[in-house]
Amino acid sequence: MSISALPRQSESLQRVPDVAAFYESRTCSVQYIVSDPETSECAVIDPVLDYDEKSGSIATDTADELVRYMSERHLKPVWILDTHPHADHLSAADYLKRQTNARTGIGEKVVEVQKLWKSLYNLPENFRTDGSQWDCLFTDGDHFTIGGLKAKVLFSPGHTLASVTYVVGDAAFVHDTLLMPDYGTARCDFPGGSAAQLWGTIQRILSLPDETRLFVGHDYRPGGREPAWESSVIQQRTHNVHLRKVADKQDFMALRQTRDATLPMPKLILHALQVNIAAGQLPAPESNGGRYLKIPLDALPGAKWD
């Protein structure tokens, strides 16, 4: 796992956050710890729970590295945040909540994702679809604090119907809406995704100040380059390889839908969603003490095979 602590870049803004990025190579995911340098309070964004689909093994090495980082720097976690229910890795939100007692949060539209996937998994009636697995469900425009840092929530549908962006000072955590400029934009073909909505979300993010730092949720290292995760509004606006090819919403929808039709589903989508719609809580032990994931057959008709 690659770790990078990024220095504050804009002294003209008060309470500019420190951002530490943690690259998880198995799923190409980027996790973040965003902290207030004055109070040492911090939030963890999009933490990964290690999972090997071949053996069905769960591990906490990646999440434990986040805990060690915070402990060594005397950071005080107050939030554990997911930007959306992930399709490509299991969330470590529940594990980190138990380790740190920090509050968990996600966008309020997660309840719609819960209802959709409860049906696809045929989950028991007692599975709650009210988002109560998290401590806080954020609505568009909500504000919260991380020490003296002011944070704002932007509803960001398109990649999923529940995605949100967290804007903390001059930093915006844009999950999978925008990837690094040399890779482009997020796919929209998951249940509840929408290329039209993604276009609107991208325009909203790119209306932030030019110098806003944008932190992505994944990096797929095009050309084999080193992992990267930070760009800016102006860099995305001028260099994003997808946005440079399109003139308007209709062009973007055509580009995105054409590309999505060629992409196989993420290999962990059916493994991950049943955990991630429960805030990272693993299935309850069964009568023999074992835990079991449930894989529905033919739940994603038309999905392209590798």
Tens of pLDDT, residues 20-62: 999 999 999 999 999 999 999 999 999 999 999 999 999 999 9
Question: Which helix (H) or strand (E) segment is 191 a member of?
Answer: none
Residue with tokens 């198995």: 26
Tens of pLDDT, residues 200-216: 999 999 999 999 999 99
Helix, strand, coil percentages (3-state) for the chain, rounded to 5, are: 25, 25, 50
Taking alpha carbons only, the member of 267, 279, 265, 273 closest to residue 293 is 273
Share of the chain above pLDDT 70, in %: 95
What is the pLDDT, as a whole number, of residue 4?
55
The answer to whether residue 9 scores a pLDDT higher than 50 is no
Cα–Cα distances in Å, from 238 out to 95, 201, 242, 278? 39, 17, 10, 38
CB 194 within 8 A of CB 186: no
What does pTM read for this prediction? 0.94
CB 51 within 8 A of CB 57: yes
Token pair of 120 as six digits: 């696809």
Q: Which domains does the chain have, with CATH numbers?
A: 2-266 (3.60.15.10)
Q: How confident is the model at residue 15 (pLDDT cuts 50, 70, 90)?
A: confident
Find the distance separating the first CA and the last CA of the chain, reported in whole Å.
Answer: 26
